[in-house]
Amino acid sequence: MSTYLAGFSLGLSLILAIGSQNAFVLKQGLKKRHVFIVCLVCAVSDGILISLGVAGFGTVVKQFPTIEIVARYGGAAFLAIYALLSFKSAFTETHALEAEAETESSLFKTIAICLAFTWLNPHVYLDTVILLGSVSTQYHPEQFQFALGAVIASFVFFFSLGYGARVLAPVFENPKAWKIFEFFVGVIMLALALSLVANV
């Protein structure tokens, strides 16, 4: 049980910070748009990466740094584009939750964006594959319990964030609040994109 709790607490602490993936989940939750599938895609993706890390994939990433480089520049480009779209939305569109609900994005497009936020983010590999993978070696032969704790932490966090966002819905009935949120998301995305390039 202690090994499971160690994996759960470390896994949860690594994804608590507001990042591109979390901001996207929060945004989908506020719009009540494909919330379940978005939360599921994020949690399952984390689960796959954590499992790969515990299984030893982290050593492969270290041996082939090209994987990290491709993810870094691809992720930076994606985040920069999404930031510009958020800024455009903040300054040029009229916002309200009702209006946002009417402009429904396709499920395929939503899943594609969600996957990009997850798999094009080098920090995800650092946290799940390398960090959790290396820490799990301390709990041998109970690494499975450690990984299970971290995976469940991802499910708890993403579903709580996605469905908990509805508590904030009354605030976002005000179009100005939505504009501020779009601008805030844009700032987060742009800052993360710049950090990826600056850390080369």
**Would you say 71 and 121 are in contact if contact means Cβ atoms under 8 Å apart?**
yes
Residue 24 predicted with pLDDT over 50: yes
Q: What SS3 class is residue 174? A: coil
pLDDT digit string, tens, across residues 77-114: 877 887 888 888 778 766 555 444 445 578 899 999 99
| CA dist., res. 133 & res. 14, Å (int) | 13
| CA dist., res. 149 & res. 11, Å (int) | 8
pLDDT digit string, tens, across residues 128-157: 887 787 778 777 778 889 899 999 999 999
pLDDT digit string, tens, across residues 158-167: 999 999 988 8
Q: How much is the mean pLDDT over the chain?
A: 80
**Would you say 185 and 23 are in contact if contact means Cβ atoms under 8 Å apart?**
yes
pLDDT digit string, tens, across residues 48-65: 999 988 887 656 666 777
What tokens appear for 87 in the block?
């800024």
| CA dist., res. 136 & res. 95, Å (int) | 45
pTM for this entry? 0.73
